[in-house]
Chain A
Amino acid sequence: MKQPAKRALALAILGFAALAAEPALADQTSLSVINWWTAGSEAKAMNVLVQMMKAQGVNIKNDAIAGGGGAQARTILKTRLMEGETPGAAQIKGVEIQQWGHTGLLANVDAAAKAGDWDKNIPTEIDNYMKYKGNYVAAPMDLHRLNWLWYNRAVLAKAGIKTPPKDWDELIADLAKVQAKGMIPMAGGGNGWMIATEFDPIALETGGPEWYRDVFVKLDAKAINSPTMVKALERLRQIEKYTPKSLAGRTWNYDTGLVAHGQAAFQIMGDWANGQFEFLGVTPGGPKVGCVAFPGTANDFIYNVDSFIFFRQHSAAGREATIKLAETMTSPKFQLLFNKYKGSIPDLMNVSLTGYNPCQLKSRAQFLTASKEHNLVPSFSQNMSTYGPPTGAFIDSLDQFYTSNESPQAAAAAMTKRVEVAKSQD
């Protein structure tokens, strides 16, 4: 009895000694890059960035933290700043970049933009997000399209569908046909993020780009509490009817698997689904799985751009490294490699997409058309259209609607109210 207890205490004293002896870790020459690309191909692509920076003599600490579209990563970013450990860059996107610009902590990377001629090579719509008060403070990494409909060719053939749907009525008719054959018509549903991601193209299809911007960018109460919104919500409900309830709580990757393996006909999802299809051994746009712009939105493009903001460094070496990092992130070599893995397309319009799959090539072509015709809209579900609180209000409202018997009218009214409250929080 006596011995183990004494030994434990002796160990405790040793523990104290070990603590005291441990030297503090401090590596001033390296830049930390906070991101949420923690696994699989995304993580591999990030590590390519690390290698490319190393070749230029800059040590990058890849601070990758998983979880809920960056919730964890944002927590880390905030605690790092509280610690006084300013990171080199952090994965922050959309309108939130302006909020960070406001803190006065961001670095000016105009030099990198000049070297890479971002003004010319990157579309203005994307550039605008990267600037705070006229200066570049962030760099884009990719360009995702939201309004895609993925489908399994064999399932469609079995249901007697010859071509993928081109408008809403065709989509609903096709869903019914698939259901009649006893297969899953639409793989989807689930958490707020997934519901909002599905609603994104539905809303655009229902109201068109102008109305979409009024609602999700301008947060115009009249546009939100409108018959158009009611109609869009009714359509979300229609889609829900063709989505097995039991898929809720699954991940979108799982849904993609159902389409790839011929258990489900359709999935509404952004082009990051490309990566999952490739992983499952089917090339989108190939013989098994096809992609088509979400019905009724062939000339429109809902975009999502992942980007990194840069923090002001104390040392000259740090500042120089920051510029190099911004340059490398937007270099043709890195962007081509990174976006191929991610299923998206490069932000640079001056590089040719060799080795990209047919869906990605289509994405580039439709981006250019949509850009010319002012049919580009920023995705609300991916935090591109407005600040966190109103985005949260939209997602909460859709969640509430999707998971209850709330009427579309009541939901539109509740959404308007929630967004008004959220607006006042800015």
Chain B
Amino acid sequence: MRRLPIYLLLTLAALFFLLPLYIMLVTSFKTMPEIYNQGILALPRQFDLYAWRHAWSGATIGASNQGIHPFFINSFELVIPAVIISTAIGAINGYILTHWRFRGANIIFYLLLLGTVFPFQIILLPMAWVQGKLHIAGTLIPGLVMVHIIYGLAFTTLFFRNYYVGIPHDLVRAARVDGAGFFRIFWRVMLPLSTPIIMVTAIWQFTMIWNNFLFGVVFTNSDQQPVTVAINDLVDTVTSVHMWNVDMAAALIAAIPTLVVYLLAGKYFVRGLTGGAVKG
């Protein structure tokens, strides 16, 4: 069994990765006295669903006492348009930067690259000013959606550009010879080849936007806040009572959509990256 060490290493790594999830799960099913009196690895004596129910629809969060479910819905309203639009624009940008190259295309690309690494705290105040001027301050749609699209573009453009670099120019040239124009080539030649990279980009954007906290807390009014902000409201209170089982249940509920995306589409993620998203 030459391959045994490989499986052993992989299994050890898997345990390391699963440990926090396990702790969150068992804690969410415990009662408060159990949490105080038992080890964190211990299984709950009985599976108590109180924390899950309370987190979903009973906990008082800010102005609402309906638990995290209204915020959960907010997050969907945010993430769907933001992911679709930033992915679509990234696709077109990537297509232009690779197959309609002009002088300075590389410079533009490197300028955009800064957008993937610069600290977002910088933009809070000036962006607030802009949103005020546009009269969209404090809104989920279009205010927060706009912020996520703008600061997601650098990533989506990077992904599509690196993928489309691998598509032979001959394909585009042939289409041009057949009389196809800018949009027709994109629609007929590029898009049909793009499923893997669309999956990668969409998964990436979905994860980033769903899990984002900073923009959500700053750019939305309290009734429009995404679920990460609601979780923080619940978990991070200074002078109020604490229920760790509810904290954990709420945290798990907030993680479900991204977990589902990874479970269902995880294979596309690696396959899509293989397709060339990571080729420099």
Contacts and interface: CB of A to CB of B under 8 A. Distances in A.
Given a CB threshold of 8 Å, the question of whether A touches B is answered with yes
B260 to A, nearest CB: 18
Contacts of A84: 129, 132-133, 137
A79 B128 contact: yes
Main secondary structure of the interface of B (DSSP, over half): helix
A220 interface: no
Interface in A108-126: none
B191 interface: yes
A66 B88 contact: no
Contacts of B113: none
A64 interface: yes
Nearest to B63: A62
Interface string B82-121: 0011011001000000000000000000000000000000
Interface stretch (A31-39, A151-159, A392-400): A31-39
A280 B138 CA distance: 37
Contact of B60 (A43, A63, A78): A43
Nearest to A85: B137
A270 B192 CA distance: 64
B87 A12 contact: yes
A83 B129 CA distance: 5
B242 A254 contact: yes
B142 A261 contact: no
A272 interface: yes
Nearest to B191: A5
Interface string B219-255: 1011100000100111111111110000000000000
A276 B243 CA distance: 11
Interface stretch (A21-29, A209-217, A406-414): A21-29
Contacts of B88: 8-9, 12, 15
Contacts of A26: 135
A82 B240 contact: no
B149 to A, nearest CB: 10
Interface in B50-78: 59-63, 65
Contacts of B198: 4-5, 8
B136 interface: yes
B219 A66 contact: no
A15 B238 contact: no
Contacts of A253: 240-242
B237 A66 contact: yes
Contact of A67 (B62, B232, B239): B232
Contacts of A257: 36
A15 B141 CA distance: 11
B13 interface: no
A11 interface: yes
Nearest to B89: A12
B121 to A, nearest CB: 9
A83 B128 contact: yes
A75 interface: yes
Contacts of B65: 43-44, 47
Contacts of A19: 81, 85, 141-142, 145
A9 B32 CA distance: 49
Contacts of A254: 242
Give the interface centre of A39, A79, A85, A257 by most chain B CB atoms within 10 Å. Answer: A39
A275 interface: yes
B69 to A, nearest CB: 16
A133 interface: no
A85 B139 CA distance: 12
B241 A50 contact: no
B125 interface: yes
A238 interface: no
A47 B91 CA distance: 46
B125 A82 contact: yes
Given A22-B142, A66-B237, A43 B61 contact: yes
Interface in A31-58: 32, 36-44, 46-47, 50
B150 interface: no
Interface string A108-151: 00000000000000000000000000000000000000000000
B180 interface: no
Interface of B: 36, 59-63, 65, 80-81, 84-85, 87-88, 91, 124-126, 128-129, 131-133, 135-139, 141-142, 145, 187, 191-195, 198, 202, 217-219, 221-223, 229, 232-242
12 contacts: A1-B193, A4-B195, A8-B84, A19-B145, A24-B135, A38-B233, A40-B237, A44-B65, A50-B63, A61-B222, A62-B63, A82-B126
- Please name the 3 residue pairs, one residue from A and one from B, whose CB atoms are nearest each other, closest first: A83-B132, A62-B63, A12-B88
Interface of A: 1-2, 4-6, 8-9, 11-12, 15-16, 18-19, 22, 24-26, 32, 36-44, 46-47, 50, 61-69, 72, 75-76, 78-80, 82-85, 193, 251, 253-254, 257, 261, 270, 272, 275-276, 279, 342
